Amino acid sequence: MRTICWTVLISAGVAVGSATALAAGSETDREISLTIYNKNIALIEHVRPISAPAGRQRIEFAGVSAQIVPETVSFIAPNMTLIEQNFDYDLLTPAKLMEKAVGSSVQLVRVNPATGAETTEKAEVLSTVGGTVLRIGPRIEVLREDSLPTRVIFDKVPENLRAQPTLSVLVNAAKPVNEVARLTYLSRGFTWAADYVAVFDEPHGITSVQGWITLRNTSGTSFVNARTQLVAGDVNLVDSEEQWWTRWQQSRNTNQRSIGTENTGRPQLGDYYVYPIRELTTVANNQTKQVSFLDAGSVKASKGYELRFYGFQSYSDPQSAEVRMRFSNSKSGGMGEQLPSGVVRIYMRDAHGQPQFVGEDHIGHTSAGSELALKIGDAFDVTVQPTLTQTRSISKRKSEYDMSYLVRNARATPVVVTLRQDGLWRENSVLKESIAGRRTDFNSFAWDVPVPANGESTLTFTLATSW
């Protein structure tokens, strides 16, 4: 049996066990492509020239991802049939080297501590349990019992001990092969996410939005000059632990206010959007790589204050209103791009004109033409203080609530605060209100409360609800 060794990044010396059987052939990938999903998984394809004689032989793949999922490997080469496939995790360490040498001979080089003179002897390793026992000629000794300097030299390194986990396949070639083979597999250790930077110019009612795809490679392996594409969409990974939770969070998605239906001309792959990186790129291990995919200069945007209350309650502490930035990723709004799931970081300019970070929000995969209301933070100067002024039981199942919401604005500009009374029972109606409100869905009402600069407004209403 012979071994063919493929190496990519590192010279032949790495493929420790196989140096003697190194076959002719290309040492690098002719092509390598990475398709990276945003669920810690990537599809990797190596295309490599292969030249091998006819017969049964082992082929090693150095330079594959250290986080390969071995059961997903597929190896396709013309005129070759796969017999067996191995992924060896047995790391080459000094201790392993000694263990595997049991029963074979090594050289001992001893140094005389007084003179520095070296003497070399042959020895047989008998055991490595709790120390190394050697047979040297007729004598049995324990290695370095005398604490004197002793080097141990091994003739060879066992084949299955490796510097890094290595994939090998046992194949049978019908005839001598000199072609191109494809190796594909899934690997862990890759993630990508979209990251957005929005510089919000509130006075002019616009925001810039830059989108970056952030790619992280923690697979333990670098990929040089790879054709790389990123796939947005939710790949269904059966073994993902927090699947239910993630799905629930995605469906929760309260900052998307309407779902768009615009087409952007982005390449699609089934239910996924594909973001190819235009040029070949090196995806180094432990590197964070970012590729620009969106640069919208002026997107219509506005700021809004909102607060939602579930149930009827008095609060002794005023509650801060939520600040949201509203915009649309529609063509008419100035963008016309779908937005893959990620985090939007929002900046506003300070008195010196320098952008300062003001908050961030997570968005789900958002099709073009959707309305978004991203939460920036809590308003320091706009607060709401609810008081339940009176409750009445009308019947066993029906109650009336008199609510009063005191909205204060300590800002030098007037604001409008959208208050929502949510989580009502099945039958509900507003009996009285100081400002005209609206029903927002079957169990909630909303009121837009205008508040003057440095002033306050009070919303009062009486609501009947029953079950």
Partner 1 sequence: MAALLGAQIARAGPMEVISPQADAVSITIYRDLFALITETRTVDLPEGPVTLSFDGVVETLLPASAVVTDLGRTPEERNFDHDVLSPNNLLTKSIGKSVTITRTLPGSGRVVQTRAVILAANDQGITLRTETGNEALHCSGIPERLMFDDIPHDLRATPRLSIHLPAGKAGKRTVRLSYLAHGFAWKSDYVARLAPAGNRMDLTGWITLHNYTQAGFRGAQVQVVAGKLHLVSTEQGGSSLLGDSDDLSDWNLNETREAALEDLRQKLEPEDPGLQLFSGCHAVPVPATLEGRPLDGAESLEEVIVTGFRGSLRASLQMKRDAMMAAREELGDYQLYRLPVATDLHARQTKQAVFLAKQRVKVDHYYSFAFDGRGSEDLESLTPESTIAFENQKSSGLGEPLPEGMMRVFESTGTGDLFMGEARMEDQPVNLPVELSVAMALGLGLEIDASEATRDELRNTGLDERTDIELRAFNAKSVPVTLEVLQYGGYRPNARISKSSQRVRRKYGDFVWRLRVPANGSKTLIYRFERPKDADSEPAK
Contact region with partner 1 (CB under 8 A), list: 20-28, 44-52, 154-162, 432-440: 154-162
By CB under 8 A, residue 376 contacts partner 1: yes
- Given the complex with partner 1, which of 187 and 383 has the nearer CB atom? 383
Site for partner 1 in 207-246 (CB under 8 A): 210, 212, 214, 224-225
Binding mask 245-264 for partner 1 (x = CB under 8 A): --------------------
For partner 1, the binding residues in 399-428 under the rule CB under 8 A are 399, 408, 410-411
- Among residues 380, 356, 359, 364, the alpha carbon closest in space to that of 305 is found at 380
String of DSSP letters for 243-297:
HHHHHHHHHH-TTEEE---------EETTEEEEE-SS-EEE-TTEEEEEEEEEEE
* Residue 362 Cβ vs partner 1, minimum distance, rounded to whole Å: 5
One residue of 1, 129, 153, 436 binding partner 1 per CB under 8 A: 153
Could you say which residues in the range 89-118 bind partner 1, by CB under 8 A? 91-98, 107, 109, 111-118
Q: Report in angstroms how near the CB of residue 184 gets to partner 1 at its nearest.
A: 24
150 interacts with partner 1 by CB under 8 A: yes
**Which of 119, 109, 120 has its CA nearest to residue 144?**
109
Residue with Cβ nearer partner 1 (91 or 259): 91
Under the criterion CB under 8 A, does residue 151 sit at the interface with partner 1? yes
Which of 170/388 has CB closer to partner 1?
A: 388
- Taking CB under 8 A as the criterion, the residue among 385, 440, 460, 462 binding partner 1 is 385
Per CB under 8 A, which region of 170-178, 181-189, 258-266, 278-286 contacts partner 1? 278-286
Cα–Cα distances in Å, from 228 out to 31, 147, 158, 274, 380?
Answer: 11, 55, 36, 10, 45
**Span interacting with partner 1, options 29-37, 123-131, 375-383, 420-428, rule CB under 8 A:** 375-383
Distances in Å between the Cα of 465 and the Cα atoms of 175, 220, 314 are 83, 60, 18
User: Which helix (DSSP H) or strand (DSSP E) does residue 97 occupy?
Assistant: helix 94-100
Other CB atoms within 10 A of residue 211 CB: 23
Residue 26 interacting with partner 1 (CB under 8 A): no
Stretch of residues binding partner 1 (CB under 8 A), selected from 29-37, 47-55, 80-88, 371-379: 371-379
Give the three-state DSSP class for 23. Answer: coil
DSSP code for 214:
E
Q: Which residue of 140, 237, 269, 343 would you call a contact of partner 1, by CB under 8 A?
A: 343
Q: For residues 423 and 254, what is the distance between their CA atoms, to the nearest angstrom?
A: 15
Site for partner 1 (CB under 8 A): which residue of 161, 274, 435, 464? 161
Nearer to partner 1, 181 or 325 (CB): 325
Residues 280-319 vs partner 1: string with x where CB under 8 A?
xxx-xxxxxxxxx--x-----------------xxxxxx-
The window from 26-34, 49-57, 73-81, 158-166 that contacts partner 1 (CB under 8 A) reads 158-166
**CA 163/CA 11 separation, integer angstroms:** 12
What gap in Å lies between CA 149 and CA 108, rounded to an integer?
10
CB under 8 Å to 138, separation ≥6 — which residues? none
Sign of the CA dihedral 16, 19, 23, 29? positive
Closest C-alpha among 40, 455, 48 to residue 234: 40
- Rule CB under 8 A: is residue 43 a binding residue for partner 1? no
3-state secondary structure of 7: coil
Smallest distance, partner 1 to C-beta of residue 93, A: 4
- Does residue 27 interact with partner 1 by CB under 8 A? no
The three-state secondary structure class of 355 is: strand
By CB under 8 A, is residue 76 in contact with partner 1? no
Count of residues engaged in binding partner 1, rule: CB under 8 A: 116
Q: Which of 92/180 has CB closer to partner 1?
A: 92
Looking only at the bridges linking them, the beta strands covering 177-187 and 166-173 are unpaired
